[in-house]
Amino acid sequence: MPIQTINPYNNQLLKQYDELTQEQLDAKLQIAHNAYRFWKQSDIKIRKDLLLKVASLFRERKQELAKLITIEMGKLIAQSESEVEMVASVYEYYAKNAAEFLKDRPMEIEDGKAFVRLSPIGIILGVEPWNYPFNQVARLAAPNIMAGNVVAIKHASNVPQCAEMIENIFREAGAPHGVYTNLFLSGKRISKLGEDSRIAGMSLTGSEAAGSSLGESAGRNLKKSVLELGGSDAFIVLDDADIDLAVEKAYLGRFANMGQACTSAKRFIVMDAVADEFLSKLQQKIANLKVGDPLDPETQVGPLSTQDAVDKLHQQVQETVAAGATILAGGKPIDREGAFYELTILADIKPGMVAYHQELFGPVASFYRVRTEKEAVELANDTNFGLGGVVFSQDVDRAVNVASQMETGMVFINENLASRPDLPFGGVKRSGYGRELSPLGIEEFVNKKLIRIA
């Protein structure tokens, strides 16, 4: 895939970059390796000051950076601004809390003394997606740089200006050369990097296929890896739920970022007693929204990230409908310039259909009716994915009981699943393994070294 910016609002090519040669790549990795040798010994206050400066620069440039997100991948400008704020909060969170997270951990033993010390391991390679081009990077970079590692990032090929900007911000903040390194590479070259002895760990957020490839490379070369892959999150509405609240959250949970999030509420599983009310109100909610330029604050429906994303999504919808599913809203590309797709609701989806089994990475919701809690949980778990989920009920104990039965890494009750610096993020099954954010996020790529004193 070419490394280039194509504005999805009008499909115009704005900028393109050359891929690194092997010689250039080797030189960058050597600089990063040299940087690690002294960064791992740096005082944690130096690391803290760096990340606080990075956070400050993101906030100072929020308008500029938000516009860059929107131009490269189509996010509505208000949502892009929110992403920049989140990025700053991630860097601040680890800057302020890493010293506590990294403290020696005494062991309770019968004789003598022992403790566990967390220490860095080297260059951490991150392969990052386009849907949150600044935030996804921060979740890897912030904890690892605070831990004393250095990071090298292969970003998605359709957001190269965002990728370049992150490296520029780190340099402006005073990061030593090599502490943060941007790599303009094609995806097919990533698995080969697992063979490089300078790479100590590998992390990927992206598709199952990409995750399988990186995980295989990491395993073959005995490297630690963290994978955050796809999702088909269930949005369960029990019969005692506040339906107006559930509908409002369903709209945001499925259609924010035009549905292009691993943790979007992709499957609405609603109990019969409230299904008609929920569906009717949701249909009203998505009707007659303003479609247009994502840089216009009045726009409610923007483009998807690329025309290829539109084409793939529409094929999935067509195959599902051809197999017997029903379109309750939308169902096709919007007839205008750019990578636009209608907000869509599918129903009558059965096992064997594309929408039942595959992740729909765009503004398409799958609607299911169920009779009982048991049926809701069984349907929620009938997927190869296990990233997140949501339960709506006015009886919190009941909702927690349902949540405890869901085979996912995260469940939120009476609110949408959200990424926060202080909460762990990650999944199970084919949604990947490992955790980002929270104290757990800084523990993934460190040596938990036991020191025993007789």
> Which residues are known to be catalytic?
228, 262
Helix-helix angle 243-255:272-286, to 10 degrees: 50
The total number of residues written for the chain in this structure: 454
Handedness of CA 184, 124, 305, 299 (dihedral sign): negative
148: CB partners within 8 A, 6+ apart: 39, 40, 41, 42, 47, 119, 120
Cβ–Cβ < 8 Å for 402, 428: no
**Among 59, 63, 66, CA closest to 89:** 59
Q: How far apart are the first and last CA of the chain?
A: 57
- Rounded Cα gap, residues 233 and 268, in angstroms: 9
64: CB partners within 8 A, 6+ apart: none
**Among 8, 77, 2, CA closest to 308:** 8
Cβ–Cβ < 8 Å for 378, 406: no
Amino acid at site 17: Y
